[in-house]
Structure 1
Amino acid sequence: MSAPTDEVSFEKATKLGFHRLFQYIEGANLNWSRISMTTPVLTSIVPDAGPLHSSAYYVRLYLPVKFQASPPLPLPELNLHADKWPSHCIAVRQFSGFARDSNIIKEAQRLAVSLSRSSWANSTDSGNNAYSIAQYDSPFRFIGRLNEVWVDVAGSQGSGCASSGVEVY
């Protein structure tokens, strides 16, 4: 499930988008279903899609398997929509601490440098998203936090990135 936002700040976008998604999983949907929280919370950065060509963001939650075939419809005022992500390959870089406006770009650049020195050089495919930040921990966890920066890798089927055949919403 996705919450689009045109906030200029990654942190504000994630907070506001997650708030709407949290309402949805707590029952703000047309059949009042409560949905288990999943991880990660994924914030995808879309360059030049926001106001005055700033970045825009999509904050996303994966739905549990029970709800993937037929997700409950969110209440219209939440401005959420179901996204079906086809199977695809991503390059990942882990980082600790809190994901902030001050460090996510640096982590994305570190991933880009790593890829440029590998056999995956020139294989990234940003598509609609430049990169995504996956956050796995509750904001109340202060030590041992796990985050990742993700970027799509194009043409990877022949390069050792085989599809598992699993699709997620």
Structure 2
Amino acid sequence: MARAPRLPIAVVTLLWLVVLCRSTESPPYEVLHVESDFEIRHYRDATWMSATVRDLSFQKATLFGFHRLFQFIEGANLNWSRIAMTSPVVTSLVPGAGPLHSSAYAVRFYLPAKFQDCPPTPLPELNLEPYAWKSHYVAVREFSGFATDDSVLREAAKLATSLSLSPWANCTTDSDYIYSIAQYDPPFRFIGRVNELWVDVDASVFVGPGKATA
């Protein structure tokens, strides 16, 4: 059985800088509602590639998960297909125990349009799976700087406060994931970094049950 190429973490981090700087494709969305410090978006059905990582650190989990994903897009799949990198890299916290109320993370990226319907099969040792992210609405808070374990907790608290004071106060959902952190920039970009905190919300009260799941 063919084995995935093994690259040092430091090398993958450098390559992340290159691929994210030239990435052009992102998951499409529509903005439903805008407040001063967050907005509500609608993302339609889409296929992502996902790496599950069990670690208490969001930062370490993101790095280790992306290491596996990068091997996949560089050709460690049964088709030996090279896949263009997209942005953002999204790390979702899975409910559980730990400093971020999580014991596992799902690190994933959006598959380019040409692979949405038929994603290449990852080599088994990478332990990756396609993830069908169904149509959903999210409250999005943008923040700058580096996304760290501490900054994610601070931004999550700020978004929770903002939601509690808005018409969306009682609209958070019982999602499989508590929060998702979207990172748009490579690790070595120090100025003008853009990150987002995503929380699933139920938009049916505002757009109607049928439209909320469209």
TM-score (norm 2): 0.72
1:88: which partner in 2?
136
What is the Cα deviation at residue 4 of structure 1?
Answer: 0.2
- 5+ unaligned residues in a row in structure 1: which ranges? none
Q: What's the offset of the Cα at 1:126?
A: 4.0
What secondary structure sits across from 1:61 in the alignment? strand
Question: Would the aligned equivalents of 1:5 and 1:13 in 2 still touch at CA under 8 Å?
Answer: yes
The equivalent of 2:114 in structure 1 is: 66
1:99 aligns with 2:152: no
Asked whether the equivalents of residues 93 and 102 of structure 2 are also in contact (C-alpha less than 8 Å), the reply is: no
Alignment of 1:100-139 (within 5 A): 100-139=148-187
| Structure with greater proportional strand content | 2
Residue 90 of structure 2 contacts residue 180 of structure 2 at CA under 8 Å; is this kept in 1? yes
User: Structure 2: how far apart are the matches of 1:127 and 1:9?
Assistant: 21
Aligned partners of 2:90 and 2:107 also within 8 Å: yes
CA-based RMSD of the aligned residues comes to 1.8
Query: How far 1:139 sits from its partner (Å)?
Result: 1.1
TM-aligned CA deviation for residue 152 of structure 1: 0.3
Report the Cα distance in structure 2 between the residues aligned to 1:49 and 1:129, rounded to whole angstroms: 13
In structure 2, the residue matched to 1:30 is: 78
Q: TM-score, normalised by structure 1?
A: 0.90
| Matched residue, 1:159 | 206
Moved runs in structure 1, 4+ residues, more than 2 A? 160-165
The amino acid that maps onto 1:157 is S
Q: How many equivalent residue pairs?
A: 162
